[in-house]
């Protein structure tokens, strides 16, 4: 670079825009996310789920082996590190989960109930509900019986949304079984096993395609128009009709009915139903598959997606460990809260603002602040001695209930003045009455 172009560059200000598809969490938004995660954690811990975490970077071969082909070939952020090692930025947590569980498969007490809220990245065109960077809550359980695990995992979805303020009509748990799809593809339609994986991916995105495009894509996968028609029929039918469509091959329907019966005994029946169109894109699902739909007219979309897998850890050379799990992104959850009007107005946690007016009262303000904090009070101390009115204004914006200060008079009398912001009432407390003040703060009379 010539000296002149270097100078031109120096004088051009840096952009305050972040990288495309990422978000800046200024404190107001971060407070909302923290509130959401705290509630999610309370629900999951009430079921005995334990939090885990793993690296944001994994060896490329882990994703190449465990992630979906679409993710690896189109969305993964992969590169070589300075030592020539090929790595990828986490696009989903399941490969790391599988690696971590496989590493300790022998010593982990069953059932294994784990959750995590990792940051993930996928190279995609940013759109509503979908960004390049997102957090994804992952909940998984291994080592129990399928029915018990399936019911519990679906209950946690219901409880998470309920805890965040959702009511029964706000969302719907839609369940299906991969075995049913197998019955149809191989029992009824007599397809070739090699057609399965691409066909499942096509069925998974059916809703996003026009009916013509769907039929064209199906033809490309060697389906006859009649087979395609049967598939379309299948995907729109209620459970009872599926039974007649598939004839005797109904063991998976029994499984679905069992799960529906368990769930509707515990939660509002309008929260859960069978949906033959639920497929999920990942190859590794082998049993129940499900999505939680937002029913709001402005946000009809799948929020959560998950399913049962029989052998997530097999690639690591350990014994199969069946389980079930799901993922939901913070982007989807924040959208859900927004469209349903469930976003709470969250305030800062400041209880008291300690203000001061000169160089002389700094030490007194600092020691009073320290004593209040030691008594469990959240205190913001002023960081410059400006005018009283201006500092009161500032204190009001911190959300504090009381403003406290030690003017000349109070310093002389070993006391402090308190102005209750809700009423404007002013009170004097002796320094030795700190407890009395703290009690008044926690149980305001007015």
- Contact flag: residue 19 with a copy of itself (CB under 8 A): yes
Instruction: List the one residue from 114, 171, 304, 336 that touches a copy of itself (CB under 8 A).
Output: 114
Burial 31-60 (b: 16+ CB within 10 A, else e): bbbeebeeebeebbeeeebeebeeeeebeb
Task: Identify residues 246-275 at the interface with a copy of itself (CB under 8 A).
Answer: 262, 265-266
Instruction: Give me the least distance between CB of 312 and a copy of itself, in Å please.
Output: 12
C-alpha distances out from residue 6 to 2, 12, 28, 77, 372, Å? 6, 10, 38, 31, 53
Examine residue 92 and tell whether it contacts a copy of itself (CB under 8 A): no
CB of 82 to a copy of itself, least distance (A): 5
Distance between CA atoms of 321 and 306, rounded to whole angstroms?
Answer: 17
The interface with a copy of itself within residues 42-81 (CB under 8 A) comprises: 45-48, 50-59, 61-62, 65-66, 77, 79-81
Handedness of CA 224, 226, 230, 233 (dihedral sign): positive
Interface mask (CB under 8 A) for a copy of itself, residues 188-227, using x and -? ----------------------------------------
Show the tokens assigned to 393. 């204004």
Query: How big is the chain, counted in residues?
Result: 446
Site for a copy of itself in 142-161 (CB under 8 A): 143-145, 147-149, 151-152, 155, 159
Paired tokens of 76: 């993964």
Does 333 contact a copy of itself by CB under 8 A? no
Beta-sheet strand order (sheet of 352-354): 379-381, 352-354, 402-405, 415-420, 426-430
**Backbone φ and ψ of 314, nearest 5°:** -55, -35
The residue (of 19 and 226) whose beta carbon lies closer to a copy of itself is 19
* Strand segments (E) across 311-409: 323-329, 352-354, 379-381, 402-405
- Which one of 105-113, 164-172, 277-285, 403-411 is the stretch in contact with a copy of itself (CB under 8 A)? 105-113
CA 273, 288, 236, 245 dihedral sign is negative
Closest to a copy of itself by CB, 77 vs 186, is: 77
Binding residues for a copy of itself restricted to 363-422, rule: CB under 8 A = 363, 366-367, 370, 373, 377-384, 394, 397-398
Tell me which of 27, 126, 247, 269 binds a copy of itself, using CB under 8 A: 27
Query: Counting contacts by CB under 8 A, is residue 140 touching a copy of itself?
Result: no
């Amino acid at each position: 670079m010539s000296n002149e172009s270097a100078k031109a560059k120096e004088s051009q200000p840096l952009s305050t825009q972040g990288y495309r598809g990422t978000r800046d969490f200024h404190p107001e938004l971060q407070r909302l996310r923290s509130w959401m995660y705290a509630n999610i954690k309370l629900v999951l811990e009430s079921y005995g789920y334990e939090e885990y975490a793993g690296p944001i970077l994994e060896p490329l071969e882990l994703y190449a082996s465990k992630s979906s082909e679409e993710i690896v070939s189109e969305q993964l952020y992969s590169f070589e590190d300075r030592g020539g090692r090929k790595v990828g930025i986490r696009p989903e947590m399941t490969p790391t989960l599988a690696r971590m569980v496989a590493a300790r498969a022998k010593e982990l007490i069953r059932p294994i109930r784990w959750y995590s809220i990792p940051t993930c990245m996928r190279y995609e065109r940013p759109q509503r509900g979908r960004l390049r960077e997102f957090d994804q809550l992952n909940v998984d359980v291994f080592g129990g019986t399928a029915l018990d695990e399936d019911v519990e995992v679906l209950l946690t979805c219901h409880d998470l949304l309920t805890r965040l303020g959702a009511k029964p009509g706000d969302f719907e748990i839609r369940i299906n079984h991969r075995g049913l799809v197998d019955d149809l593809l191989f029992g009824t339609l007599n397809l070739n096993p090699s057609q399965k994986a691409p066909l499942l991916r096509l069925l998974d995105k059916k809703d996003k395609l026009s009916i013509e495009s769907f039929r064209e894509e199906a033809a490309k996968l060697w389906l006859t128009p009649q087979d395609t028609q049967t598939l379309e029929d299948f995907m729109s039918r209620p459970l009872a009709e599926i039974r007649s469509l598939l004839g005797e091959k109904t063991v998976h329907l029994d499984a679905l009915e069992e799960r529906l019966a368990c769930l509707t005994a515990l939660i509002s029946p309008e929260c859960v139903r069978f949906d033959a169109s639920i497929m999920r894109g990942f190859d590794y699902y082998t049993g129940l598959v499900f999505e939680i739909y937002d029913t709001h007219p402005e946000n009809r979309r799948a929020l959560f997606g998950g399913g049962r897998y029989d052998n997530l850890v097999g690639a690591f050379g350990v014994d199969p460990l069946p389980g079930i799990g799901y993922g939901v992104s913070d982007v989807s959850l924040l959208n859900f809260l927004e469209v349903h009007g469930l976003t709470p107005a969250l305030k800062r946690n400041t209880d008291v603002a300690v203000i001061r007016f000169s160089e002389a009262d700094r030490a007194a303000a600092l020691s009073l602040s320290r004593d209040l904090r030691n008594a469990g009070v959240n205190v913001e101390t002023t960081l410059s001695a400006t005018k009283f009115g201006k500092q009161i204004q500032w204190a009001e914006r911190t959300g504090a209930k009381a403003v406290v200060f030690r003017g000349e008079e109070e310093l002389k009398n070993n006391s402090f003045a308190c102005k209750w912001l809700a009423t404007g009432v002013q009170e004097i407390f002796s320094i030795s009455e700190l407890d009395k003040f703290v009690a008044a703060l926690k149980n305001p009379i007015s």
